[in-house]
Structure 1
């Protein structure tokens, strides 16, 4: 069962509830473009997962079949409880090293780039974590945890983490000692020096207390969310590429071949001495911290919101059809999503070429739909064409009607 797919309506319902709480309490924990960017990263992640989930599943299953020390039964309750705890223990180390090693941080940093903290941040996930993430869960296969149990507890672990991404829930007393809560997870998303690289557990905080990585949220030190190398973009593709590109550039600049290789696996932030001297990097002064933003008119926001809704619908449809799609169909779906979300990011940044890119994106939907019909991805050909033609015409008319504000990110 795809628990994440069935949870999607609840995710959006709880986000709506949090927005109502914002209004009721007279606070603002959401910003339009940041929220769309977080959700776009999540939609892209689940879509790319159609192509990449086999990496973790196949390696886990193969290890379970060939290396399992004992044969555990999926029908035993204690096996499920053991697997739930064991998964979180493996997650702790996956998560911790995801902060402590350059190449792993390149994948995980996507989740931390938002400078706001709300339930949409929980859905802001990496599209490249599959490259190394599977390694950390192989001990479960060796211990004999069946794949069906592994996949289920993995989904439950991820679902638990959704509710802790909020600023509306205070400290929870004794619960804080055993479980991850909104308070100790807010610490995890901070860029304040006192909070950085702390509280890695997914469900249980006990691992952090055992291994010395726990930090309580302090009343005297308000959390400033985000990363010390700001993304400064609303584009989910760049969000996934940013730190890889930074590492690649430093690797090319390094004179030593040893430095070119080891930079990927050194502690996060490590740079070759010659590169750091020639290309110094400054960190922002948190006392003067200003969140990244690009002014947009109400019309621009309305257009972006409607277009993004289409990609949420498309991503949900692809996720629901995942087991029935061929590799060619999956590639088509992922490509369509990536192009669309990239164009949406350009629109949110109010770049000079945003309208031209939007026209190209809308017109590209027509041949892509024809190709999808040819691949038998969609059966309702004539009806789909009629709907798509109407949508395209309305979108093009909206583009002509929507003026561009004067301020935007340079092209």
Structure 2
């Protein structure tokens, strides 16, 4: 069962509840562009996952079939309870090393790039975590945890983590000693030196207390969210590539072959001495921290939000039907999704060419959806084409009806 698919409506319902809580309490934990960027990264991640989940599925199943030391039954309650705790233990080390090693941080950093902290941040996920993440769960396969149990408790672990991404829940007393809570997870998303690289558990905070990585949220130290190398972009593709590109550039610039190789696996932030000297990187002064923002009027925000809705619907459809799609269909869906989310990002960044890029996106929807229908990815009868035509017409009228803006970003 795809638990994430069934949880999607509740995710958006709870985001709505949090927005109401913001209004009632006079706080502001959401910004339109930041929220759409987080959700775009999430939609891109789930679409990419349809192509890449086979890596984890095959490696885990192979290890379980050929290396399992014990025979565990999926019909036994104690196996499920053991697997739930075991999974979180493996997740702790996957998460911890994801912060402590350059190449792993390149994937995980996507989740931390938002300078806000709200329930949409929980959906901000990487598209490249599959490259190494499977390694950390092989001990469960070797122990004999059946694949059905493994993938189910993994989904439950992920779903639990959604609710802790909020500022509206205070410390929860004795629960802070056992479980990951909003308070101790706010610490995890901070870039304050006192908070960085702490509280790695997914469900249980016990591992952090046991292995010395726990940090309590302090009243005298308000959390500043984000990463020390700011993304400064609303582009979900660049969000996934930013740190890989930084590592690649440093590897190319390094003088020795050893440095070119080891930079990928050294502790996060490590750079070859010669590269650091020639290409210094300034870190933001948190005492004068300013969140990344691009001026955008209400009409253009509404346009971006309504266009993004199409990709939420499409992403949810793919979650429900992707298992039956052909490989060619999934690649087409990924390319269509990536292009659309990229264009929405450029729209929110107010790039000088964005109106023409948006026009090209609308035009490409027709051949892309025709190809999707030909590949059996989605049904496109007369009603489907009629709705696409209506959507395209309304979008074009809105696109050319909106006032032109002066370019506000030239990065």
Place the TM-score, normalised by the shorter chain, in its bin: over 0.9
Does 2:259 match 1:273? no
Q: Given the two structures, how large is their TM-score scaled by the length of structure 2?
A: 0.99
Are 2:175 and 1:175 equivalent residues in the alignment?
Answer: yes
What is the TM-score with the length of structure 1 in the denominator?
0.99
Structure 2: distance between partners of 1:250 and 1:404: 39
Matches of 2:312 and 2:386, distance apart in 1: 21
Q: Tell me how far 1:372 sits from its aligned partner.
A: 1.4
Cα offset for 1:355? 0.4
Which segments of 5 or more consecutive residues in structure 1 lack a partner in the other structure? none
Q: Secondary structure at the match of 2:173?
A: coil
Contact 1:369/1:385 (<8 A) preserved: no
Residues 117 and 166 in structure 1, CA contact (< 8 A), matched pair in contact too:
yes
Give the distance between the partners of 2:210 and 2:221, measured in 1 at CA: 24
Would you identify which runs of 4 or more consecutive aligned residues in structure 1 move more than 6 Å? none
Task: State the shift of 1:220 in Å.
Answer: 0.4
| Residue of structure 2 in register with 1:95 after alignment | 95
Partner of 2:207: 207
Matches within 5 A, 1:91-240: 91-240=91-240
CA deviation after TM superposition for structure 1 residue 407, in Å: 4.9
Alpha-carbon distance in structure 2 between the residues aligned to 1:21 and 1:184 = 21
Distance 1:37 1:359 in 2: 20
* Displacement after TM superposition at 1:382 (Å): 2.4
* Counterpart-to-counterpart distance in 1, 2:255 and 2:404: 45
For the residue of structure 2 that corresponds to 1:162, the secondary structure is: coil
Aligned to 1:63: 63
CA contact (8 A) 1:350 1:404 kept: no
Residues 388-403 of structure 1 correspond to what in structure 2 (within 5 A)? Answer: 388-403=388-403
User: Cα RMSD between the aligned structures?
Assistant: 0.8
- CA displacement, residues 302-354 of structure 1 (integer Å, 9 cap, x when unaligned): 10010000000000001110111010110111111000000000001011111
1:361 aligned partner? 361
Kept after mapping to 1: 8 A contact 2:325/2:376: no
Counterpart CA distance in 2 for 1:134 and 1:403 is 48
Aligned 8 A contact 1:179 1:203 in 2: yes
Could you give the per-residue CA deviations for residues 61-89 of structure 1, whole angstroms, max 9, x where no partner exists? 00000000011000000000000000000
Q: Is the 8 A contact 1:295 1:405 kept in 2?
A: no
Matched residue count: 411
Give the deviation of 1:402 after TM superposition: 1.1
Residues 101 and 267 in structure 1, CA contact (< 8 A), matched pair in contact too:
yes
Q: Does 1:17 align with 2:46?
A: no
CA distance, structure 2, for counterparts of residue 253 and residue 237 of structure 1: 24
SS in 1 for 2:410: coil
Gaps of 5+ in 2: none
